[in-house]
Amino acid sequence: MNKKNYLNNINNSKKPFIIYKSNKGFDLFTNFSKKIILNNQNIIKFLNQKYMIKKKYKNTDLLIGFFGYELLNNLIGVKLPQQKSINFPKGIFYKPETKIILKEDLIYDLNSSHKVDKKFKININQKSYTKIFDKFKKKIRAGETYQIKICTKYKNKSQIDPLDFFCRLTKTNLAPEAFMIKDKNYSIISCSPENLINKKGLSISTKPIAGTLRKTKKINKTKALNFFRNNIKETKEHNMIVDMERNDLSRICESGSVKLKKEKTVEEYKDLYHYVSLVIGKLKKNINNIDIIKAMMPGGSVIGCPKISTLNLLNNQEKENRNIYTGSFGFIKFNGDMRFNIIIRSILNYKNISEISVASGVVIDSNAKHEFNENFIKAKALIDLYK
């Protein structure tokens, strides 16, 4: 059976599966022997468990899945107030028994009808957004935070084929941390661009993204780079996030090993350009999985800084649970290596309700209308899938 047919057959079989972007194309994981649903009580045991590697290490000797935003807050001692919730699991990891490498050009034949709503409802209109924005501006002036991200949600009621959505998304907006999960009562489709943790042995890196510019016919990659470099607001935002993630890495890395490998480059996507840096370090020898997760998550570039006080401000303002948004998806190998992204540019479809969450950064030089519009730019590639 060729891989195209395998993808079609597995989707039609109703078996859960995961697809994750790799350097060679995509990795497809399936035939799960274990499904671990995480909560605030079992997360520490999950992260502290030790794995026995047999004589021959297999490419399925790993756990793959996601940590939700609420779970990560609780792990670092940040408590969320009572919020509106859809009761989606706080985190789920799977143990695959099958891994298949797929080409980058995913092909899927849609052979089922689905009810899709083209219209989305936003949970915060521009007037409400401006009120929150002004409130946070005062917090910045008072020194309680230096940068903070306001989250908006787009929702509709739709029965979707996640594989169809994901295949189309990869053709129009392929991102280095793209992934999808399909399970019985939920799916996640993501074109996340941001790697939060890439650990191999004692080497670790993180790729903060801070800075977004809408693409037009008049703006190419070089002009985008000049825009970012000459824009005080974008430069301040980027510098703050890079400094924070360097500090996060410094807590778990050897002294003097944390360095900027790439500084302020531009990455190009379907509807926008991003301002990106790469930070590397060498882990201390006594550092384990839970130390790494607690130091790095939730990812600072989608929260603001300083992290803990900003999280408290955000959580007390937001009325709805973020679920997967600004959590992390990835894998932990049985040899201790791991790779995790930040879950942004994603659709959560749970019990036939689709939810797209986005956020933009507020610093002292920010403009409310610009940031509100930037949120829509970030959501557009996903909203377009419903047309």
Please write the tens of the pLDDT for every residue from 165-208.
999 998 888 888 999 999 999 999 999 989 999 999 999 999 98
- Nearest-angstrom CA–CA distance, 82 and 316: 9
Per-residue pLDDT for 107 more than 80?
A: no
Does the structure show a pLDDT above 90 at 69? yes
The Cα 162–Cα 386 span in angstroms is: 11
Residues 6+ apart with CB under 8 A from 296: 196, 197, 206, 245, 248, 249, 252, 340
Residue type, 324: I
pTM of the prediction? Answer: 0.92
Residue 32: per-residue pLDDT: 97
pLDDT classification of 216: cutoffs 50, 70, 90:
confident
In the prediction, which pLDDT does 113 show? 62
Residues 345-383 as b/e (b if ≥16 CB within 10 A, e otherwise) read bbbbbbeeebbbbbbbbbbeebebeebbebbebbbbbbb
Tell me, what's the pLDDT at 115? 82
Please say whether the beta carbons of 341 and 348 come within 8 A: no
Classified as helix, coil or strand, 240 is helix
Q: Under a CB-based contact definition with an 8 Å cutoff, are residues 357 and 89 in contact? A: no
Q: What does 259-277 look like in DSSP terms, one character per residue?
A: EEEEEEEEEE-SSEEEEEE
What tokens appear for 331 in the block?
Answer: 């894998």
- Rounded CA gap, 329 and 344, in Å? 10
Compute the average pLDDT of residues 137-158.
92
pLDDT of residue 53: 64
Mean pLDDT value across residues 35-54? 89
Q: Looking at the predicted structure, is the pLDDT value of residue 1 above 60?
A: no
**Nearest CA among 299, 100, 269, 98 for reference residue 198:** 299
Domains of the chain: 3-386 (3.60.120.10)
> Is it the case that residue 4 has pLDDT exceeding 70?
no
- For 332-366, the pLDDT digits (tens) are 999 999 999 999 999 999 999 999 999 887 888 88
Give the max Cα distance, the chain.
Answer: 63
Distance from CA of residue 311 to its chain's centroid?
A: 16
**Residues 8-35 pLDDT 10s:** 888 888 899 999 999 889 999 999 999 9
What whole-number percentage of the chain has pLDDT above 70? 97
Q: What is the pLDDT of residues 294-333, one digit of tens each?
A: 999 998 877 888 889 999 999 999 999 999 999 999 999 9
Are 276 and 265 a contacting pair, CB within 8 Å? yes
In percent, the amount of the chain with pLDDT more than 90 equals 64
Q: What is the Cα–Cα distance from 355 to 366, expressed in whole angstroms?
A: 26
Q: What is the pLDDT of residue 362?
A: 84
104/267: higher pLDDT: 267
Alpha helix positions (H), the chain: 3-12, 43-48, 69-75, 126-141, 162-173, 221-230, 232-250, 289-296, 307-317, 368-383
Specify the pLDDT at position 190. 96
Q: Which amino acid is at 320?
A: E
pLDDT of residue 188: 98
Q: What is the DSSP letter of 270?
A: S
**∠ Cα 239 244 247 (to 5°):** 125
pLDDT the model gives residue 88? 97
pLDDT digits (tens, 9 = 90+) for 249-262: 999 999 999 999 98
Q: Which residues contact 190 (CB under 8 A, 6 or more apart)?
A: 175, 177, 178, 179, 180, 329, 341, 343, 344, 345, 346, 347
Tokens of 218: 């008049």
In whole angstroms, give the CA distance from residue 210 to residue 214: 14
Bridging pattern class, strands 346-350 and 338-341: unpaired
pLDDT of residue 209: 85
* Dihedral class, residue 34 (left if φ above 0, else alpha if ψ from -120 to 50, else beta): beta
Mean pLDDT of 104-133: 84
Any idea what the Cα angle at residue 378 is, between residues 113 and 213, rounded to 5°?
145
How many whole angstroms separate alpha carbon 126 and alpha carbon 137?
Answer: 16
Rounded mean pLDDT of the chain?
A: 90
Residue 281 has pLDDT above 70, yes or no: yes
